[in-house]
Amino acid sequence: MLLQSRYVLPVSGPVIEDGAVLVRDGEIVDVGPRAELVQRYPDEAVRDFGQAALMPGFVDLHTHLEYAVFRGMVDDAPYSQWKLQVMQKESLLDEEDWAVSADLGATEAVRSGITTIADITDTGVSLRSASAVGLRGVVYREVSTMDRSQVDAVIAAALDDVERWQAAASGRLAVGLAPHSPYSCHPKLFEAVAEAARERALPVAMHLAGSKDEHDFVKYGSSLLGQDYREASGWSSIGWLPTGVSPVRYVYQWGILEVPRMLAVHCVHLDDGDVEILAKTGVSVAYCPRCNLKLGMGIAPLQELVEAGVLVGIGTDSPASNSTMDFFDEMRIGLLVQRGLAGEAKFYPAERFVRMATLDGARALGIDRLVGSLEPGKRADIVAVDLSRSHQVPTRDPYGAVVHTANQDDVLMTMIDGQVVFDRSSVETEAFADLAARAERVQAKLRSSNER
């Protein structure tokens, strides 16, 4: 199949105007000017997207697909209050409810041009949903306990799940471990995860330095997280002494940051020396700008991270905290916030954020040999983005148009491994309407808790 469009954005090379991409057997075979490829492959079937951009699929470095039905349930609360309210509502859902929610999240992902995810889950339902729609990436089994006596049992149960999930996962999905955060894990759990990850070659992800409450709880021993959250988790009787150090320095003591393929999510509240630790240990960072802003968590110091050599990609987090999985909004808001912070001293171009959303995300997951750019020999994970609407023409810079004018409704097609997993021209409206209705019934359970 020869895919054609006004622009081809390889990411790893210059923009190709009036370009084309040849896909065969799930692989990118050739990339170049349309006229040359048509002449070179005259018998190839053609699909022309017109005034659009063909580009690599987005690599979403932080998702919680199973939280899609929480969209809009807790919209106006800062992080710690939001976390407590979501925890209270979680208990209302059964296994089927979680499955419906994950299906909705996976469906939104491919409709938004996301082809690769790094999903954290404790139920495992997102693994099935991601496999069903064809997503690529890593699904991390979340673990947490502040109780030292529970660590062995928690890690044993998690590793049992990892084995089961590995057996059930599609060939595009790997399985890893995710200690939840510094405020929900005993130090011995960090050590146990690090040991298991090395022995079994498992990728690891964790929420780290995301909120001021987390920072103050770890460093000073006092915050809402140190009181209400621990009580809600059943750990209020377990003593906690202030460590006197930042969350990054705290977890660094327990070996978790030195695990190969370590992904730290958020990294907003960093003290002096934290960035150097992340760079020294080779940790990659998932930058989640909209979630961080919406929950009042703060703004990640992107400039300092990048200048120190830390690899940074972009994550959407979940519809519970971010409302949508719109990767265009994520790039746009993330870029504008950083421009506002840095001013003219470090004026990030739109192209840089597209690279973070694709190739840098693939590098963070260790799969850039497969995806992240449009190059011969890589897997055909490709999206077509409409640039023909009234608010998009005329277009001079396609990277700028993608970041500043597009949204998830402009995705015309999402392809993974050469298979079209979403096509706006032939959307199955009946199937989606059924999924939306089931999700609405699940959310009704959550809304009912507000009325009690």
Residues 189-215 pLDDT 10s: 999 999 999 999 999 999 999 999 999
The CATH number of the domain holding residue 285 is 3.20.20.140
The answer on 213 and 115 residing in a single domain is: yes
Of 364, 392, 411, at which residue does a domain stop? Answer: 364
Share of the chain above pLDDT 70, in %: 99
State the average pLDDT over residues 2-31.
Answer: 98
Provide the mean pLDDT of the chain. Answer: 94
State the average pLDDT over residues 91-118.
Answer: 96
pLDDT band at 448; cut points 50, 70, 90 = confident
Residue 443 in domain: no
Q: What is the pLDDT of residue 450?
A: 61
Of 324, 340, 364, at which residue does a domain stop? Answer: 364
Q: What is the pLDDT of residues 24-50, one digit of tens each?
A: 999 999 999 999 999 999 999 999 999
pLDDT at 452 over 70: no
State the average pLDDT over residues 343-354.
Answer: 89
Contact at 8 Å (CB) between 139 and 173? yes
Neighbours of 170 (CB within 10 A): 14
Q: Six-digit token pair at 357?
A: 């959303």
State the average pLDDT over residues 123-127.
Answer: 95
Residue 296 in domain: yes
The answer on 267 and 163 residing in a single domain is: yes
The answer on 277 and 209 residing in a single domain is: yes
Q: Six-digit token pair at 149?
A: 């006596």
Q: Six-digit token pair at 51?
A: 């005034």
The CATH number of the domain holding residue 413 is 2.30.40.10
Q: What is the pLDDT of residue 244?
A: 95
Q: Which residue did the predictor score with more confidence, 378 or 450?
A: 378
Q: Six-digit token pair at 332?
A: 């746009």
Q: What is the pLDDT of residue 435?
A: 93
Least confident of 205-209, 245-249, 347-351: 347-351
- For residue 129, give the H/E element and its range: helix 125-133
Q: What is the pLDDT of residue 118?
A: 98
Of 364, 388, 407, at which residue does a domain stop? Answer: 364
Q: Give strand pairing partners of 420.
A: 415
Q: What is the pLDDT of residues 330-341, one digit of tens each?
A: 999 999 999 999
Q: For the chain, what is the domain count? A: 2
The b/e string for 273-299 (b: 16+ C-beta within 10 A; e otherwise) is ebbebbbebebbbbbbbbbbebbebbe
Least confident of 97-111, 191-205, 210-224: 210-224
State the average pLDDT over residues 360-385.
Answer: 98
The answer on 82 and 18 residing in a single domain is: no
The answer on 337 and 254 residing in a single domain is: yes
Q: What is the pLDDT of residue 239?
A: 79
The answer on 415 and 268 residing in a single domain is: no
The answer on 135 and 33 residing in a single domain is: no
Least confident of 85-94, 110-119, 380-389: 85-94
pLDDT at 228 over 90: no
Residue 451 in domain: no
The CA–CA distances, whole Å, from 216 to 220, 232, 233, 246 equal 5, 19, 19, 8
Task: Determine the structural domain holding residue 344 and report its residue range.
Answer: 58-364
Contact at 8 Å (CB) between 87 and 422? no
The answer on 388 and 347 residing in a single domain is: no
Residue 408 in domain: yes
Q: What is the pLDDT of residue 447?
A: 83
Determine how β-strand 114-121 pairs with β-strand 136-143: parallel
Q: What is the pLDDT of residues 387-418, one digit of tens each?
A: 999 888 888 899 999 999 999 999 999 999 99
The answer on 418 and 294 residing in a single domain is: no
Residue 450 in domain: no
Q: What is the pLDDT of residue 449?
A: 63
The answer on 154 and 64 residing in a single domain is: yes
Residue 71 in domain: yes
The answer on 387 and 357 residing in a single domain is: no
pLDDT band at 429; cut points 50, 70, 90 = confident
Residue 435 in domain: no
The answer on 70 and 17 residing in a single domain is: no
pLDDT band at 57; cut points 50, 70, 90 = very high
Residue 9 in domain: yes
Q: What is the pLDDT of residue 347?
A: 86
pLDDT band at 188; cut points 50, 70, 90 = very high
Contact at 8 Å (CB) between 105 and 130? no
